[in-house]
Amino acid sequence: MVARRGSPGPDPVALVEIDLYGELMIAAASADEERLSPDRIDEVLRVEADRSDSAKRSQRRKADRPERSERPERPEIDGPDAR
C-alpha cells in the first residue's frame, strides 16, 4: 500500500500510476517487437495523442515552467539540501 506523508491511507494517484505501469509491463512482455511504439503505449494507457505538433507543445511546456529558483519551496519533497 502506498501512503502519503502525514496521511493515513493510500495515495490514490500513486495507486493509479502503479496500475498503469503494470499495464505497460504486461503489454511489453506480450509484444512481438523489442519496444512498444508510441501508438501502442497510448492504446495501453487509453489516451489519444496528436503527435502532429508534439515538438511545439513540448517547447511551450518548457517555456511555461518557472526556473528552479522561481519555484516555491516544498520542504516535504525537496528537502533542506535541494537548492
Give per-residue pLDDT as tens, 7-48: 778 899 999 999 999 999 999 999 999 999 999 999 999 888
Q: Which residues on neighbouring strands pair with residue 3, listed in sequence order?
A: 10
Q: Residue 50 gets which letter from DSSP?
A: -
Task: Tell me the residue type at 28.
Answer: A
| 3-class secondary-structure state, position 46 | coil
Contact 45, 20 (CB under 8 A): yes
Query: Largest Cα–Cα distance in the chain?
Result: 46
- The distance from CA 42 to its chain's CA centroid, rounded to whole angstroms, is 13
State the pTM of this model.
Answer: 0.48
